[in-house]
A and B are shown apart, each in its own frame.
Chain A
Amino acid sequence: MALTGIQIFKLLPKTNCKKCGFPTCLAFAMKLAQGGVELSACPDVSEEAKKTLGEASAPPIRTFDLGTGEKAVKIGGETVLFRHEKKFVNPCALALNVKDSLSDGELAEKASEVASSEIDRVGQKLRVDAVCVEYASGDAARYEAAVRLVAEKAPEAAVILNCKDAAAAGAAVKAVEGRKPLLYGADDGNAEAMAAVAKAHGVPLVACAEGPGALSALTEKIRGLGVEDIVLDSGAKTAKEIIEHNTQIRRSALKKNFKPLGYPVINSVLRDDPLFEASVASVAIAKYASIVILGSIEKWKNLALFTLRQNLYTDPQVPMQVEQKIYEIGEPGADAPLMITTNFSLTYFIVSGEIENSRVPARLAVMDCEGLSVLTAWAAGKFTAAKIAQFIKESGVENRISHKELILPGQVAILSGALEDKLEGWKITVGPREANAIPTFLKNRA
């Protein structure tokens, strides 16, 4: 929460010595409040003032990287409670939990599943971001070997070390230090020892306590021990605890500027039934988790969870766009109808949904109009006869179809004449004005 000029003024030396280049301390304070100068321009400012001002200007939820390298993911840094207010910033990381008590073969297999989890969806590469190795064997040497193996088999994934034994954790951190593992975790009993490991190796640390209140006391303690990159585990197990704790944590950080909870959150959603686990994971993804630990990562589950994450983390202010191309709906033959619309994703979803409803296989040419709907794009000069003609010619659709007929949205019927001139040899048909009339329209043609 930013301080006002007057609040800053109270922290300055009030000598009006002008060394900062301003005539008075008050003038300097006012400029500082607007963000126009750095505090360091005043040579006489006290240590206490520096600390207070530094804390006040820090973002409400700390941001740092999980993992290293190209596939490291930023976590934290969120600024709102509801996505319609502003974009959710850093999509939550998904992690697969593995126990060190598994055989080497099983561990290697699970790590490879993580390594090969990447899929492409509407132009974004999505993947399981991390692997979490649980210390279940009670044998520090086994744990270290398991961590090494998993890190090697999932060479780009972030590594999370779920181990509360500081000695075992220390050895494991050392083994994969270059990967900047997340140490999970510190609790009331081991905080000093775990903080020492995290500090010595420069890795982030999860604070684990029962409920946000106890957790805030623990993070203050850990921060006092010199660890700054902290992740929160409030002990939430049920879907209700997840939504309640995470809401309380985010509200505290954003609305009360409560620093002890101004960190990203980790939730574990392990359930025996993978479908149920997917449903509970979606509660954590939607409601403020920065890392979600899963017990299994079947391909169908990944696809669904990646999609949810992608949906909720899109920018609500920028109209979502779909890729410009000729979409085939329901295995169209060469003689199937060809329709055209713009690339505003909502337009695309509604139009393609209605074509699906018609059960008439068709091609839908989706033209890049910077995410505008048909009428808006036409009004903005982005959906014109010349541009449509150029798009159709360059798309190469002509080679895939046995006819030359293009169905135009009814709202831009006005373009049909000009388009017939520009697209030589083509017949332009005016389609329905509203998408819900598409099924009847297509069926009556068939």
Chain B
Amino acid sequence: MSYVIPKESYTGKVLSFDFGKDDRAVTVGGENTLPFLSFEGQQPSRPVIACEIQDCPPDDWPDTVKEAYKDVSGDPVAWARHCQDVLNAKAIALRLLSTHPDRDDRSAEDAAGTVRDVLAAVDVPLVILGSNHIEKDSTVLVAAAEAASGYNCIIGKAQEGNYKTIVAAALAHNHKLIAMSELDINLAKQLNILITQMGFSKEKLITDPMCSALGYGLEYTYSVMERIRLAALAQNDPTMQPPILGDVGMYVWKIKETVAPEADVPEWGTLRERGIAWEAITATAMLLAGTNLLIMRHPAAIETVEKTIDELV
């Protein structure tokens, strides 16, 4: 028996877009193969990692990751500059967390101001995230989209309960958009359809099927992403062809494994490495399932995953 390389050729292809401006713009998506299988297709753009910052001090982050930004995290502008200039981040994800009614309940205008300040301070592409409060996001993200007009950002997340106003704002100010649903391929598909029915191009969408941390439902996210990617490639389903987002950091840096000190759980080993490994491995698994854009927090985890991507592309 002689060996023949078992290649699949797919009729479908993942859509691609760029975000950011001029020579700092970054492209995501565009592959016509399952992740990293260069023997049968092309993956023209390297997965991108956006370094996460927020508009208020990260009091709720565990020490391991808080420590990494302790000199800059009091000010989103300093924090963004640090990510760009010191950490060489290729993109930044700004989370407008202080607008959440349970946090500082800051106004949409305040948030727009922060967006303007950050955009003025850095050149790398920006992802602008709300606080994940359905009602509040629908005003905050509208103001943020306007403030970022002309900067070709990714804004989100548009969810079933608030997508209309956010889609309209992304359309009006020419941004890319995150469509987020909760761990169900049919919900992801349905939301993409609803958004495109408003006249928003599917070529400007990125799907967030909801991330989960290693040990806390990772396998659900992994399989939903794999199924979305197979639908895009093998079934050539246009509603499933936008690239995929993995919002890793916020799910990882709250669970027990990234918080519990070694003294409490000696069998788990050192806390710092444990937390960083948790984020890096969660992110690596997401890449293998089809993620095109990762949002991550710890510089050492980002560096590790960049090294793995170096080997994978």
- From B109-117, B163-171, B192-200, B214-222, the one touching the partner chain is B214-222
Q: A357 contacts which chain B residues (CB < 8 A)?
A: 254
Within 8 A of A (CB), among B149-200: 183
Q: Which residue of A lies closest to B270 (CB)?
A: A300
| Contact, CB under 8 Å: B268 / A286 | no
Q: A255 contacts which chain B residues (CB < 8 A)?
A: 6
| Interface residue range, chain B | 35 or more
Knowing A239-B311, A240-B312, A349-B212 are in contact, say whether A356-B3 is a contact too (CB < 8 A): no
Q: B271 contacts which chain A residues (CB < 8 A)?
A: 300
Check: B37 CB closer than 8 A to any chain A CB.
yes
Q: For chains A and B in complex, what number of residue pairs have CB atoms within 8 angstroms?
A: 172
Check: A138 CB closer than 8 A to any chain B CB.
no
Q: Which residue of A lies closest to B275 (CB)?
A: A300
Q: Which of A260, A273, A280 has the most CB of B within 10 A?
A: A280
Check: B22 CB closer than 8 A to any chain A CB.
no
| Contact, CB under 8 Å: A312 / B219 | yes
Check: B25 CB closer than 8 A to any chain A CB.
no
Q: B72 contacts which chain A residues (CB < 8 A)?
A: none
How many Å lie between the Cα of A275 and that of B281 in the bound state? 9
How many Å lie between the Cα of A286 and that of B219 in the bound state? 10
| Contact, CB under 8 Å: B60 / A359 | yes
Within 8 A of B (CB), among A101-159: 119, 121
| Contact, CB under 8 Å: A243 / B223 | no
Check: A299 CB closer than 8 A to any chain B CB.
yes
Instruction: Among B39, B280, B305, B307, point to the contact of A244 (Cβ < 8 A).
Output: B39
Check: A433 CB closer than 8 A to any chain B CB.
no
| Contact, CB under 8 Å: A251 / B6 | yes
| Interface residue range, chain A | 35 or more
Check: A384 CB closer than 8 A to any chain B CB.
no
| Contact, CB under 8 Å: B3 / A213 | yes
| Contact, CB under 8 Å: B307 / A276 | yes
Q: B218 contacts which chain A residues (CB < 8 A)?
A: 308, 311
| Contact, CB under 8 Å: A243 / B312 | yes
Knowing A298-B273, A301-B273, A308-B214 are in contact, say whether A287-B288 is a contact too (CB < 8 A): yes
| Contact, CB under 8 Å: B257 / A220 | no
Q: B91 contacts which chain A residues (CB < 8 A)?
A: none
Knowing A300-B273, A301-B277 are in contact, say whether A280-B216 is a contact too (CB < 8 A): no
Check: B26 CB closer than 8 A to any chain A CB.
no
| Contact, CB under 8 Å: B304 / A279 | yes
Within 8 A of A (CB), among B259-285: 267-271, 273-274, 276-278, 280-281, 284-285
Residues 304-315 of A, flagged 1 when their CB comes within 8 A of B and 0 if not, give 110110111010
| Contact, CB under 8 Å: B288 / A280 | no
A122: min CB distance to chain B, Å: 8
Q: B4 contacts which chain A residues (CB < 8 A)?
A: 256
Q: B60 contacts which chain A residues (CB < 8 A)?
A: 359
Q: B226 contacts which chain A residues (CB < 8 A)?
A: 82-84
Check: B86 CB closer than 8 A to any chain A CB.
no
Within 8 A of B (CB), among A290-341: 298-305, 307-308, 310-312, 314, 316, 320
| Contact, CB under 8 Å: A248 / B277 | no
| Contact, CB under 8 Å: B101 / A82 | no
| Contact, CB under 8 Å: B313 / A248 | no
Check: A411 CB closer than 8 A to any chain B CB.
no
How many Å lie between the Cα of A353 and that of B8 in the bound state? 39
A123: min CB distance to chain B, Å: 13
Check: B38 CB closer than 8 A to any chain A CB.
yes
Check: A258 CB closer than 8 A to any chain B CB.
yes
Q: A436 contacts which chain B residues (CB < 8 A)?
A: 132, 134
How many Å lie between the Cα of A212 and that of B6 in the bound state? 11
Residues 1-21 of B, flagged 1 when their CB comes within 8 A of A and 0 if not, give 111111010000000000000
| Contact, CB under 8 Å: B219 / A275 | no
Knowing A251-B6, A260-B3, A300-B268 are in contact, say whether A82-B311 is a contact too (CB < 8 A): no
Check: B300 CB closer than 8 A to any chain A CB.
yes
Residues 24-66 of B, flagged 1 when their CB comes within 8 A of A and 0 if not, give 0000000000111111000000000000000000001000000
| Contact, CB under 8 Å: A346 / B183 | yes
A410: min CB distance to chain B, Å: 16
Check: B102 CB closer than 8 A to any chain A CB.
yes
| Contact, CB under 8 Å: B6 / A275 | no
Check: A216 CB closer than 8 A to any chain B CB.
yes
How many Å lie between the Cα of A216 and that of B2 in the bound state? 8
| Contact, CB under 8 Å: B308 / A276 | yes
Instruction: Among B101, B212, B274, B281, point to the contact of A308 (Cβ < 8 A).
Output: B281
Within 8 A of B (CB), among A358-393: 358-359
Knowing A84-B223, A84-B226, A247-B37 are in contact, say whether A279-B3 is a contact too (CB < 8 A): no
| Contact, CB under 8 Å: B304 / A276 | yes
Q: A183 contacts which chain B residues (CB < 8 A)?
A: none
Residues 276-310 of B, flagged 1 when their CB comes within 8 A of A and 0 if not, give 11101100110010000000000010001101100
Knowing A239-B311, A243-B37, A275-B276 are in contact, say whether A303-B257 is a contact too (CB < 8 A): yes
Knowing A240-B38, A312-B219 are in contact, say whether A259-B1 is a contact too (CB < 8 A): yes
Q: Which of B220, B226, B255, B300 has the most CB of A within 10 A?
A: B220
How many Å lie between the Cα of A258 and that of B4 in the bound state? 10
| Contact, CB under 8 Å: B311 / A304 | no
Within 8 A of B (CB), among A266-287: 273-276, 278-280, 282-283, 286-287
Check: B227 CB closer than 8 A to any chain A CB.
yes
Q: Which residue of A lies closest to B185 (CB)?
A: A84
How many Å lie between the Cα of A279 and that of B312 in the bound state? 11
| Contact, CB under 8 Å: A82 / B277 | no
Knowing A247-B37, A260-B3, A298-B270 are in contact, say whether A349-B285 is a contact too (CB < 8 A): no
Residues 222-258 of A, flagged 1 when their CB comes within 8 A of B and 0 if not, give 0000000000000000111001100110011001101
Known: A251-B6, A301-B269. 18 other contacts (CB 8 A): A84-B226, A212-B3, A212-B5, A239-B36, A248-B5, A276-B304, A280-B311, A282-B284, A286-B222, A299-B268, A301-B277, A303-B268, A307-B215, A345-B217, A346-B183, A349-B216, A350-B217, A356-B255
Q: Nearest 6 pairs between A and B by C-beta?
A: A299-B269, A300-B269, A300-B274, A239-B311, A251-B6, A84-B223
Listed in ascending order, the chain B residues whose CB lies under 8 Å from chain A are: 1-6, 8, 34-39, 60, 101-102, 132, 134, 183, 212, 214-220, 222-223, 226-227, 230, 251, 254-255, 257, 267-271, 273-274, 276-278, 280-281, 284-285, 288, 300, 304-305, 307-308, 311-313
Q: What are 11 pairs between A and B in contact, CB < 8 Å?
A: A84-B227, A216-B1, A239-B308, A278-B280, A279-B280, A300-B269, A304-B214, A304-B277, A310-B215, A312-B222, A349-B216
